Structure 1
């Protein structure tokens, strides 16, 4: 039970910090935050066997796609916190160290670059987007924040 509670709390805390980071980028630099409705649309099409879209924005909209996207976003954060605890043990949550959290944060970049972005039509590492390098740098920065969030949330909870 401790494992599950720690995974939910640490993953949710890290994901919330990532969301605050996105809000800061929007307010200070006018960089649009992720559109979780489009992520929800992608997730919503998965059960029908549709894993890759030419352009997710052109795919059929789904009822509740924004909620689906937000739930997926937090579920993934929790899953990565669970992976961290599975690899480094629940003892890590009692005496958190930064390196394991950052490793997990950086692994999450690969999931976006090689699963989510191609599936939504952006290409590998957003290669089909005109601002691919900006997206990649934002991904690296954001997932660094996520890794820091894993660490900081564990520190707060210990």
Structure 2
């Protein structure tokens, strides 16, 4: 996903995701605030950028572990594209139904200036994540 963010920026001129806002959202949870009208206007949290990146990578690890758990040792021994791609696309439900509404963007980015574009970019990014899961599974089965 991170490599895709760099490619997306270079080819399409789209800035990468700002994980500091994820860190801000998670940081405010420690004070009992789980929902924001606009996370960008919420008060900054010390270390929010690092926290956001940590949450981003931990989420990816948990999702990858979930795919391995669902697919079992058979998928891990002989990874196929469709389960990984389907799973990657399914993970878009977390930002659509949890993160975006809680951060003030609405369900599936409905409160953003261009919801269709935001949704499409999320779907593409999570499809890329699924491809990454498959590629990692292939490397694991080859070298493991």
Gaps of 5+ in 1: 1-17
TM score, norm. by length of structure 2: 0.94
RMSD: 0.9
Residues 31-75 of structure 1 deviation map (CA, whole Å, 9 limit, x = unaligned)? 011000011100111122211100001111011100000010011
Pairs aligned (count): 141
Identify the residue that residue 30 of structure 1 maps to in structure 2. Answer: 13
2:85 is equivalent to residue 127 of structure 1: no
Gaps of 5+ in 2: none
TM score, norm. by length of structure 1: 0.86
Q: Tell me how far 1:19 sits from its aligned partner.
A: 0.5
| 1:144-155 matches, cutoff 5 A | 144-155=127-138
CA pair 90-47 structure 1, distance change in 2 beyond 3 A: farther
Q: 1:111 aligns with which of 72, 94, 97?
A: 94
Q: 2:50 aligns with which of 49, 67, 85?
A: 67
| Higher RCO (CA-CA < 8 Å; seq separation 6+) | 1
Q: Tell me how far 1:106 sits from its aligned partner.
A: 1.3
Partner SS state of residue 48, structure 1: coil
